Amino acid sequence: MKLKKYMTLGVEKFFWLCAILSLLALLLILGFLLKEGLPPLFSIGFKSFLLGQRWKPLEETFGIFPMIVATVTATAGAILLGGFIGLFTALFLAEVASPKAARLIRPLIQLLAGIPSVVFGFFGLVLIVPWIANRFGGPGNSLLATILILSVMILPTLASISETALRAVPQEYREGSLALGASPMETLFKVTLPAAKNGIIAAFVLGIGRAVGETMAVVLVCGNRPQIPQSLLDPIRPMTSTIAMEMSYSSGLHQEALFAIGVILLIFIVALNLSVNYILRGNKDL
Amino acid sequence: MKTYGKTQVLSSSIKRLSLLGLAAIMLMGTLGCSKTAPGDSAALQQQTAKETAAAQTILQVNGSTSVEKLMTMLSDRYTAKNPGVSLQIQAPGSSAGIKAVHDGNAQIGMSSRELKGDELTWGLKETVIAYDGIAVVVHPSNPVKDLTTEQVNAIFSGKITNWKEFGGADQEILLVIREAGSGTRDAFEEIVKLFEEKDGKKVSTIAEDRAIIADSTNAITQNVSGKESAIGYVSLGSLNTSSTIPLKLNGVECTADNIKNKSYAISRPFLLLTQGTPSAEVQPVLDYILSADGQALVTEEKFIPVQ
């Protein structure tokens, strides 16, 4: 009996250690990023860095406004398109499909999540980019190509988490609604969906997070032109692809500026998480 | 309810199993630690490490990313025959490598361009180990097959933006270029004069706002092969003639022979640099690279041998 008690204690300590380790990793990364990325923010100047329109690292001109626009528009487009399809996929799997069909489709969608991102990028470069160039004109490497690739990539995240949230809605809600005379679709949209709202918001945030941070696939299809896109067919250069592309050759202030982009990305992600926590806290009653 | 009962039994047995496993791991961890700490195997290891270090000459090689791949292969072959020497190759770029040799931080520098400016006064000795050509490539369907260096300059600086100016289709020219800092881009800009001096700094005049920027030679090939209006540049070693067509430059085809006799305009030497006369450790390495065996590898890697 005593042994068992000690073992429990040991295991508890072990878990505690693991938790501390992951926290330590986070703190190390944060510390490193801020140490490397904050000084250039001050030396370049917040305003000229964030709102500057020109990115000419060899001339020491560092303006990342076009990249911020690129990241935001690509993510927004992907979450609109991917979110739309993902949410309805989840509704289908959780509420409409027969158990047999759901069992068949669900693993296939999750398989999509397992495809390495560079493969998505290559697929985009070889198939989607030439298709856009031939169908709509322009270079093909574009905001549109980025949005298409990103929305496919975030689809599995959105679909599976939203589905879990929908399945977690108690059966009594649906039964009650149907018993009161609501049609199945009214029940779906007016009862089940609002009840699963928190989980679905969480799914969307994870999707946004993935889209903001995605690099390998994006760098291949976005065109990497550091310019504010005027249309869906213009090339863009998101923040992540700048870091990935230029890190290997950069030195001095250029390298520091890339770390500074990392800091801006970090601020994006933190702001995203905070705003979601805020939204979810506001909806506690649901 | 039946299944619920089952899962509970299952989960509790899993719990017990994992507890045991964890305990075992921790036990092994502590035992392992106490065993190795005073043990003599570590001391032995240290000793052997010291011995090999004493017997080995380590040469620091530093410089161009374009030369790195070739140099790594050459170094593998050389050290296989001469186990007493090891080459540590780093590739931060040509300029950094040239400076490292000058500062004494490396015994050998790698450069994928000619020395320029101040570097010429540093007393560095150059050894050309290979030549590389930069091919200007277009989509196979493009009727334009031949351009002059000035026309290439006009295209990449954005002065001419339509293929019809050169007898091609009425189509806007799409530039496909490498990112800032790339060695191939540096050499291309240097030779085609796509730069200007601004406040003492070299500033690229490539029309980046009209370009697609690719992060590797392969990505350039992919982009050009997928778009009829595209033009790009790749190292001859990475040229893929099945999906892209290399243009003649001033009427001269981009071939190994034409690069060797310097009639093709865009070529660059791969240089190894030493500070003054190469030392007794470095000279055999250079000799090996220039030997028939070393130059055969250069040809194998699709670069142009010097011999």
> What would the two tokens of residue B169 be?
């289709």
Cβ–Cβ gap B214/A139 under 8 Å: no
Cβ–Cβ gap B204/A58 under 8 Å: yes
Does residue B92 sit at the A interface (CB-CB below 8 Å)? yes
* Residues of chain A found within 8 Å of residue B214, distances taken between Cβ atoms: 224
CA B13 – CA B20 distance, rounded (Å): 11
Q: Same domain, yes or no, for A6 and A138?
A: no
What's the pLDDT band for B232 if we cut at 50, 70, 90? very high
Least confident stretch, A262-276, B2-16, B102-116, B240-254 = B2-16
Least confident stretch, A16-20, A267-271, B39-43, B142-146 = B39-43
CB nearest B213 (choices: A56, A140, A225): A225
Identify the pLDDT of residue A121: 92
The CB density around residue B261, as the number of other CB atoms within 10 Å, is: 9
CA A154 – CA B77 distance, rounded (Å): 46
Cβ–Cβ gap A248/B65 under 8 Å: yes
The amino acid sitting at A162 is: S
- Considering chain B, what percentage of its residues have pLDDT values greater than 70? 81
Does residue B160 sit at the A interface (CB-CB below 8 Å)? no
Side-chain-side CA neighbours of residue B105 (13 Å): 11
CB nearest B201 (choices: A59, A129, A219): A59
CA A79 – CA A273 distance, rounded (Å): 16
Cβ–Cβ gap B203/A140 under 8 Å: no
Report the chain B residue with the minimal C-alpha distance to residue A241. Answer: B215
Report the chain A residue with the minimal C-alpha distance to residue B197. Answer: A59
Phi, psi of B201 (to 5 degrees): -105, 145
Interface test with A, best of B223, B224, B225, B244 (most A CBs within 10 A): B223
**What's the longest Cα–Cα distance across chain B?**
87
Q: Same domain, yes or no, for A212 and A97?
A: yes
CB nearest B22 (choices: A11, A244, A251): A11
Segment A251-275 shows an average pLDDT of: 88
Q: How far apart are the first and last CA of chain A?
A: 44
What CATH number has the domain bearing residue A135? 1.10.3720.10
Least confident stretch, A103-112, A261-270, B64-73 = B64-73
ipTM for the assembly: 0.78
Segment A134-141 shows an average pLDDT of: 87
Closest CA to B276 of B130, B114, B109, B117: B109
Please check whether residue A199 is in contact with residue B182, taking contact to mean a CB–CB distance below 8 angstroms: no
pTM: 0.76
CA B187 – CA B304 distance, rounded (Å): 16
Segment B225-254 shows an average pLDDT of: 89
Q: Same domain, yes or no, for A115 and A23?
A: no
Cβ–Cβ gap A10/B23 under 8 Å: yes
CA A44 – CA A61 distance, rounded (Å): 9
> What would the two tokens of residue B40 be?
């003599």
CB nearest A10 (choices: B26, B180, B214): B26
Least confident stretch, B2-6, B46-50, B248-252 = B2-6
Report the chain A residue with the minimal C-alpha distance to residue B209. Answer: A225
Please count the structural domains in chain A: 2
Higher-confidence position of B19 and B140 = B140
Q: Same domain, yes or no, for A226 and A105?
A: yes
Please check whether residue B129 is in contact with residue B261, taking contact to mean a CB–CB distance below 8 angstroms: no
Query: What is the residue-averaged pLDDT of chain A?
Result: 90
Q: Same domain, yes or no, for A109 and A218?
A: yes
The amino acid sitting at A210 is: R
Q: Same domain, yes or no, for A105 and A140?
A: yes
Does residue B200 sit at the A interface (CB-CB below 8 Å)? no
CB nearest A14 (choices: B22, B180, B230): B22
Does residue B219 sit at the A interface (CB-CB below 8 Å)? yes
Q: Same domain, yes or no, for A29 and A14?
A: yes
Least confident stretch, A6-10, B9-13, B149-153, B216-220 = B9-13
Interface test with B, best of A62, A127, A141 (most B CBs within 10 A): A141
Q: Same domain, yes or no, for A116 and A14?
A: no
Q: Same domain, yes or no, for A168 and A130?
A: yes
| Per-residue pLDDT tens over the stretch B93-138 | 787 888 889 989 899 999 888 887 778 889 999 999 999 889 999 9
Identify the pLDDT of residue B29: 43
In which domain, by residue range, is A20 found? 2-44
Q: Same domain, yes or no, for A81 and A138?
A: yes
Identify the pLDDT of residue A284: 52
Cβ–Cβ gap B226/A248 under 8 Å: no
Q: Same domain, yes or no, for A130 and A25?
A: no
DSSP classification of residue B162: B
Please check whether residue A230 is in contact with residue A131, taking contact to mean a CB–CB distance below 8 angstroms: no
Cβ–Cβ gap A224/B212 under 8 Å: yes
What's the pLDDT band for B180 if we cut at 50, 70, 90? confident
Q: Same domain, yes or no, for A30 and A107?
A: no
* Residues of chain A found within 8 Å of residue B182, distances taken between Cβ atoms: 249
CB nearest A133 (choices: B181, B198, B226): B226
Show the DSSP H helices in chain A as ranges: 2-44, 46-51, 65-91, 99-114, 117-123, 129-136, 143-167, 171-179, 184-187, 193-195, 197-213, 216-221, 239-246, 252-282
Identify the pLDDT of residue B44: 47
* Residues of chain A found within 8 Å of residue B179, distances taken between Cβ atoms: 224, 245-246, 249
